[in-house]
Structure 1
C-alpha cells in the first residue's frame, strides 16, 4: 500500500520537470525563463465555466455549510452557469461597468462566487474587499477610501445586520444597490432574487464581447501606509496564470478528481486567483472552509477536513502549525490525511523549517513516505503566480522557477539580487493611478515587485530560488552588516517555537538585532500552566514563558555566524496585530514596516537598558 501511494504521489509523476535558461547580461543582471512555451490560454474565466457546464454538468462545483453539524449545500456546474447567466442579466440591467463595478464585502461563499462570476461573465469587474475592513475596523477609513475610488454600482453583503455599521459609514460615498445573501433581510435586494432574473440576449452578446484585455477584477493591496491600491486584474492575467499552472502541475491535465477544501479569502490573490481559479479551470470541486487558522476557529477547519479530504492541502504557515498539532493528537485524521492528500502547498510566507520537518516526520511515520511539499511566489500584481516550485525541494523556502511565459530579471542591489517580473500574468497597473503605475515598471517593462531572491545553486537555475526578503525591509547594523529581515524572521519563529506566532525584526541603525514578538497566547498559557482566564499580560510575563524565549534566542545565536543572524533581545507584545493599523491581513501576514511605525514605543522599550520588560538572550 505504501509503495502504491508513493508511486501515485511521486513528484516526478505529479509535476513537469523544470527547464530554465539564464541569460547573464553585461550589466550584471540575469534574466531567467522557462524553456517550456506557454500554450494557448482561455479567452476568459467564463469560458471555463461554460465548458464544464457542458462536459460535467452534474459534478459539484461549490459546497458550503453553515456549521460543522449541518450538511453541505452544493451547486453543480449546470446550476452554477444558470445562476451566473441570470445574475449577469441583472448586472447588465443595472448598468454596472468598470466605472461602476460590483463590490463584495462578505466572506467566501457560494453566493459570493456566483456573483463574482456573473459580473466577470459580462465584462464587469468585481472587487472583493476583505471583510476585516468592514467587521473588525473601528474607523472604516480604508473601506471608505476603497469605495470612494471604485464608485460601485452594487455592493454584496452576506447579511445587512453584521455589516450595518460599515454600510452606514460608506452610505454617503456611493449610489450602489445593496445585495444581501440573507433571505430575511428586507432592507436590500436578495441574491436569490437576482439569481432568478430571466436571462436576456444581452448576456450572450456581452459574454461574446469579453476579451483577454477586459478587466476581470480589482484586488486591493494591504495599504499598510496610505490608501490601499486597486490592482487591475485582466482576464489574460487570470487565464495565463492557470494555463502555466496546468503545464507545471502535469497531473491536472489527466486527473478529474481535484477537490479542494479552502478558507483562504477571495479578497486576496492566493485564495481567489490561485485556488478558486485552479478548481474552475480544471473542473474540480471547491468546498468553502468556514474556519481559519485562528484560536477558536481552527476547530471548524478540522471538522470540515474530517468531512472532506482534499486532493491538495493549501494553507499558510500558521495553518500548518495548527494542523501538525492536530494531526499528532488524532490517529484517524492523520491516516486519512497522509493517505489521500497528494501534496501540501504553502505560500504567502516562508514555512519555518521546524514546521516542514514536523510535517515530514509525521508523514513518514504514518505512511512510510514524505508528503511532497511545494510552494510558489508572486503578488497581487502577478495574479499571483510568477514562480512555482513544481519539484520536491530539499528544505523549506524554495519558491521554485519562473512559470512558462514569465521572465524574471535579477538585478544586483547591494549584496542582494532584486527580482523583477514580466509576462502576461502581470498587471497593466493600478486603477485611476497612472503616476503610480508608471513608477512600478522599469524601462524594459519588468514589474518592480520589491523582493530579493537567491539561487539554490547559481550554476543550476532549475534547482530554484529562495526568497531573500524585501529589499526595502532589510537594514544595516552600525557594523555595516546587512540584516536579512525575511530570512531572520523565519529562523526566529523556528527558534522560539511554539511560543512565537510571528516576529518583527528591528535594530535599524543600532549595534544589535532585536525582536518584537507576537506570542501564541494559547501555547504560552499552556506552557506556563495557567488557566484560560489568565490575563494576557500575566501569561507573557510568566517566568516559564520568558525562560523559553531566552533559551530560543540563545539557540538562534548558536546557529548564527554573525551579529546579523540573531537577536539579543525580544519583547512579547500583549496587543494583537491591528487591522486598522495595517499591521496584519486576514491571512495572518504581518507587515513589518507598519508594526515598527505603529509600535515605536515598543521599539524604544527594547532599546532601554533599564527596562525589565524585554527578555535577553540566555547565557
Structure 2
C-alpha cells in the first residue's frame, strides 16, 4: 500500500493531551480541551433537530421490498410527547422502569423517547434473553432487579413465552402486533398531548436523572445492570462533538446504515443519540454481519450510499469479500463514505490494508478509520482515534472531560477511567461497585494497553487485550492473547472470522478457528454435518489451506509465546445463549474454552484425528 497517497481530508482537531507519570510507575492522561457545558436532558437533541428539520427522515426501516417506512423528526417528537402524556396520566415516574424486549424499531424508539424525556427509565434487554433461552433465567433476573411497571414486546406472538415468564411481576403489557397477551395495543399509548404537563416533566429532568439501565453481555454469571444517567448520555455526546467535524446538517448531511442493537451502549447511546445530535438520517439495517443476513446489508448500501460505515470488525470482513468482486457495490460504497469506524474488537491490519487498496483505486485517496475504547459502563466513550492513522489496534487518547489512569502490569498497563460519562455504581449491586472501582474513583474495566510510542506518549495508546485473558504456558512463558489473536487473524485471512486461543498451563499454544462464511459453505457442500458443538471441519482442501497459512506464519513466529502447535476448525456456530458470542459478534474467549473443553482436550491429545492439525 502506498503511504504517500493522502487520506480523505477530515475537518477534525488535532489531539491535545497531558501525560503525567507518578512515582509508582503509573500514568495519568487527560485531554487539554475542556468539555464545557452540555445538555441536562437527552431530549434536547431531538427537540432541536425536529425544530430545524421537521420533515427530514429521522429513521428509515430497511426491508427487502422497495417501500421503506419513514419516521420524520417532527413525527417522532410529537408521538413521543403523546407517549409521555400517557405515561404521566398512568402514574409512571423515575421509580417505574419500562422493560423493552424487542429489537430496533420505530415503536422501540418512540417509547424510549417518550419515557426518557420525562424521567421514566427504560430497560432495553437483549432479545436473546427472550428468544434464545428455554428458562428465561436472565430475563427474570433483570426484571427482579429493576422492578419494571411495564413490559413492551414488538410482537406479542414472538415474545409471548417470555412475557408469560414475567407473570409474577404483574406488569402492564404493550405490544405492536401479534398476540396482545392480555395487554394493550401500542396505539393506546397515543392520547392527545398535554404539552404543558410534558414540558413541566421534561424540565424536572436533571443530569443525575436515570435515563436507562443497560445490561452487560454477561460473559460470566448474570449480566451486570448499568445505570445510564442523562449526564452520562449528554456528556458522551459533547465529547464526540468536540472531536468530530462541525455540525452541518445542510451542507454535510449524515446518512447512516446501522444494525447495532439499541440494548447495547454503542447502538443505543453513541449511534442513536449521535445521529439525532447532527439531525442525520439513520437507516435501520435489516441485515447484520452473520452468514445469510449480510446480503441485506449489501443491498442496502447500494440503495442508500451512506456517508460513513461504522460496525464491528466482522462486518468489514464480510464487506471486503463483496467489495473485491462487486463493481456496483464499490461504486455505491465509495460514492459518499467519508470515514470508516469500527469498535467492539480490534480490526486486523490485513482488513485495513485491503480497504485502502480499494479506496485508492476508486477514489484516489486513502480512507480514514476511526475507533475508540469504551464500554457499557462508560456510555461507549473513553478514548478515541480521530486523526489520520496508518495502523490499527490503537485506541487513541482520552476524550475531553475524561481522565485515564494506567497501572503497570508486567510489560503493559491496566487502563482505568473516570469522567462524567462513567457510571457511579452498578444498579442495586453495591458489592459489584466496590469490586470495580478503585480508591480514587476510577472504573476498572480489566483491559490492557501500551503506549503507541514510548518516546512520544502523545501519540496515544494501543489495545493489548484483557488483563485476565493473558496466560502463562507451563514453562512460564507469557502469552498475550490480544496481539496474538490479531496476528493470527491476519495470517489466516481470508479463511477465518476469528480465533480462540488455548494453552493455559500447557506446554504449547493451540487455537480453535472460527471459519468464515465461505469456508463453512464449502465444507457443507462437501459433506460437513453440524452435529453439535463438538463438530469439526474435516475437508482436506480446507485443512490444507489452513496448514499452509500457519506454516508461513511460523517462519517468522518461532517463539513459544507466538508459535501455534495445534489447531482445529470449529464446525458448529458459536452460541449467544452460552455467552460464547455477543450481539455485537464479540467472542468471549473464556466462555468458548469452557463450553468446548472437550475440543481443547482433543487438541492436546497425542492420538488425534486428521482434522486436528499439529506443528513442530
Does residue 545 of structure 1 match 2:542? yes
Aligned to 1:37: 34
Partner of 2:170: 175
Q: Distance in 1 between matches of 2:388 and 2:190?
A: 44
Tell me the SS of whatever aligns to 2:165: helix
Structure 1 residue matching 2:427: 3-state secondary structure:
coil
- Aligned partner of residue 322 in structure 1, secondary structure: helix
Give how far 1:573 is off. 2.0
Does residue 1:588 correspond to 2:582, yes or no? no
Contact 2:566 2:604 in 1 (8 A): no
Is the Cα–Cα contact under 8 Å of residues 258 and 310 in structure 2 kept in the other structure? yes
* 1:156-167 matches, cutoff 5 A: 156-167=152-163
Equivalent-residue separation in structure 1 for 2:174 and 2:244 (angstroms) = 38
Which string of whole-angstrom CA distances, capped at 9 and with x for unpartnered residues, describes residues 484-528 of structure 1? 1111112222222222222111100112111122222532433x6
Deviation at 1:184, TM superposition (A): 7.4
> Does the alignment pair 1:277 with 2:276?
no
Partner residue of 1:291?
287
1:97/1:433 CA distance change after superposition, 3 Å: farther
1:329 equivalent in alignment to 2:328 = no
Is the contact between residue 255 and residue 281 of structure 2 (CA under 8 Å) also seen in structure 1? yes
Find the aligned partners of 2:558 and 2:28 in 1 and give their Cα distance: 31
1:535 aligns with 2:534: no
> What residue is the counterpart of 1:193 in the other structure?
188
How big is the shift at 1:249? 0.9
1:29-49 CA distances to partner (integer Å, 9 max, x unpaired)? 011111111121111211111
User: Could you say which residue in structure 2 is the equivalent of 1:78?
Assistant: 74
The whole-number CA distance in structure 1 between the counterparts of 2:32 and 2:297 is 40
1:10 matched to 2:9? The reply is: yes
1:78-227 paired onto structure 2 within 5 Å? 78-172=74-168, 174-182=169-177, 185=180, 187-199=182-194, 201-227=196-222
Does structure 1 residue 386 correspond to structure 2 residue 385?
A: no
Give the alignment of 1:499-514 within 5 angstroms.
499-514=495-510
**Quick one: structure 1 residues 395 and 198, their matched pair in 2 at CA, closer, same or farther if it must change by over 3 Å?**
same
**Maintained 8 Å contact 2:568/2:613:** no
Question: Does 1:468 pair with 2:464?
Answer: yes
Question: Residues 519, 180 of structure 1: CA spacing in aligned structure 2 closer, same or farther, 3 A cutoff?
Answer: same
**SS of structure 2 residue aligned to 1:286:** strand
1:418 to 414, 420, 426: 414
SS at match of 2:513: strand
What's the counterpart of residue 574 of structure 2? Answer: 577
Structure 2: distance between partners of 1:143 and 1:494: 38
Question: Which of 600, 604, 607 is the matching residue for 1:603?
Answer: 600
Deviation at 1:532? 8.0
Q: Tell whether 2:61 aligns with 1:64.
A: yes
Does the Cα contact within 8 Å between 1:160 and 1:188 map onto a contact in 2? no
Secondary structure of 2:593's aligned partner: helix
Query: Is 1:305 aligned to residue 304 of structure 2?
Result: no
| Long gaps (5+) in structure 2 | none
Query: TM-score of the superposition, structure 1-length normalised?
Result: 0.94
State the shift of 1:171 in Å: 2.4
In structure 2, do the counterparts of structure 1 residues 202 and 251 end up closer, same or farther at CA, with 3 Å as the change threshold? closer
Which 10-residue stretch deviates more, 258-267 or 513-522?
513-522
Q: Tell whether 2:478 aligns with 1:479.
A: no
| TM-score, L = length of structure 2 | 0.95
Residues 1:21 and 2:12 aligned together: no
The answer to whether the 8 A contact 1:104-1:157 is kept is: yes
Distance 1:472 1:148 in 2: 30
